[in-house]
């Protein structure tokens, strides 16, 4: 799917365009278990008029545990029905491959175990317990033995292997830590095959979310009412693009201007904001005049291979919006440009 340009000439707040918000958690609502205050305030306001739900790749918690965490962080209205998890999507995929009841080898924690049990499967931890599939999800306590048992089962039994997600990193209070993708990669190195993936950026988790909230995945008109909100280009934004949904990248988590400018294909977000409070403001109209791109009062232009900043503007994000649109619409890769260092700076901070 090509980059979806923001709707132009719309004086209404950005949120008015949408009926359903599908919101990521890590890096958007919280970092570790510390809330991002602007997000808590914005989501509380959004739920008054919009279906505001949460879609997470983190497989370490159950949907009930995720809801309880969000309640503690300041969102008391959230219940498990508003939480879509990658283990839910993984078990949905599993049902098409293996009928319950069956033993399923688990790498991960409560999030995977709970969904398997609800679906009538028996979670096991040892390849000698005759599992009929492997589901691998993130948990902080996953160790070498867990990965080895998964490898033995996949190699020796030739059974399906489903990963809840392949996030390479996960934001924590102390910084960025290795995510489930690193653990999946370790098993892949041992067995020489690739896992089927349920979570973002793959489509299954988005279809699960759309159907839960009354959107028919094949209906383009109904999908146009949905906005995917995230902090990662390679999961949230790419997944939205893969599913044909519009997306918003918020600069409170993993990806920043450098990654935005270099984004290709479905990794390009429809909207870029500093915080979720900007959902309640009109989105700046992009203006193009020849090789000049303007967002707000920020102005950039292309001169040969040079991106020239005529006016950095009063808001750095406007500068990034204008420059990214220039690069994306040029049809050229980022390495074909000379880019001012100012564009790469990341001004917004996570407001914990």
Helices (H), the chain: 37-46, 63-72, 86-95, 110-118, 144-157, 180-191, 203-212, 220-223, 238-243, 257-262, 316-330, 341-344
Residue 63 is among the residues annotated as catalytic for this protein: no
> Where does the chain hold its CATH 3.40.50.1000 domain(s)?
14-82+202-280, 87-197
pLDDT confidence of residue 350:
47
Contact 198, 90 (CB under 8 A): yes
**Of 19, 24, 146, 267, which one is the catalytic site residue?**
24
pLDDT confidence of residue 221:
82
**In angstroms, rounded to a whole number, what is the distance separating the alpha carbons of residues 189 and 4?**
37
Residue 310 is among the residues annotated as catalytic for this protein: no
- Over the chain (352 residues), the average pLDDT of each successive run of 10 is 59 94 94 87 97 93 95 97 97 96 96 96 97 96 96 96 91 82 96 96 95 86 92 95 96 93 96 97 94 96 96 95 96 91 73 50
**In angstroms, rounded to a whole number, what is the distance separating the alpha carbons of residues 242 and 225?**
16
Q: Is the CATH code 3.40.50.1000 the one for domain 14-82+202-280?
A: yes
Superfamily of domain 87-197: HAD superfamily/HAD-like (3.40.50.1000)
First-to-last alpha carbon distance for the chain, in angstroms, is: 35
pLDDT confidence of residue 1:
39
Contact 27, 76 (CB under 8 A): no
Contact 22, 226 (CB under 8 A): yes
Pick the closest to residue 228 from 212, 210, 240, 213 (CA basis): 240
**Of 26, 146, 255, 274, which one is the catalytic site residue?**
26
Which residues are registered as beta bridge partners of 287?
294
Place of tokens 């500068």: 319
């Amino acid at each position: 799917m090509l980059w979806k340009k923001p709707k132009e000439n719309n004086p209404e707040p950005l949120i008015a365009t949408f009926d359903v918000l599908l919101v990521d958690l890590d890096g958007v609502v919280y970092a570790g278990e510390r809330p991002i205050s602007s997000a808590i305030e914005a989501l509380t306001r959004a739920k008054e008029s919009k279906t505001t739900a949460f879609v997470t790749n983190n497989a370490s918690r159950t949907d009930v545990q995720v809801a309880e965490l969000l309640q503690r962080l300041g969102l008391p209205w959230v219940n498990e029905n508003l939480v879509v998890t990658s283990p839910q999507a993984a078990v949905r995929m599993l049902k098409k491959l293996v009928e319950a009841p069956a033993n399923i080898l688990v790498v991960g924690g409560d999030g995977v175990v709970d969904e398997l049990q609800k679906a009538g499967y028996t979670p096991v931890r040892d390849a000698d317990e005759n599992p009929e599939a492997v589901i691998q999800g993130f948990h902080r306590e996953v160790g070498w033995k867990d990965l080895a048992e998964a490898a033995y089962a996949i190699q020796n039994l030739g059974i399906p292997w489903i990963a809840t997600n392949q996030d390479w990193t996960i934001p924590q209070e102390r910084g960025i830590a290795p995510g489930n993708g690193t653990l999946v990669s370790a098993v892949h190195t041992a067995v020489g095959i690739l896992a089927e993936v349920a979570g973002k950026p793959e489509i299954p988790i988005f279809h699960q979310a759309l159907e839960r909230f009354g959107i028919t995945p094949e209906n383009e008109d109904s999908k146009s009412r949905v906005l995917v909100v995230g902090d990662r280009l390679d999961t949230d934004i790419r997944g939205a693009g893969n599913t044909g949904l519009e997306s918003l990248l918020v600069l409170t988590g993993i990806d920043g201007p450098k990654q935005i400018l270099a984004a290709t294909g479905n990794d390009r977000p429809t909207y870029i904001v500093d915080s979720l409070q900007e959902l309640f403001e009109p989105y700046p109209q992009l203006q193009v005049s020849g090789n000049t791109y303007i967002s707000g009062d920020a102005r950039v232009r292309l001169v040969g291979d040079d991106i020239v900043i005529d006016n950095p503007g009063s808001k750095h994000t406007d500068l990034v919006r204008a420059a990214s649109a220039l690069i994306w619409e040029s049809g050229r890769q980022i390495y074909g440009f000379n880019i001012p260092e100012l564009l790469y700076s990341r001004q917004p901070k996570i407001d914990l």
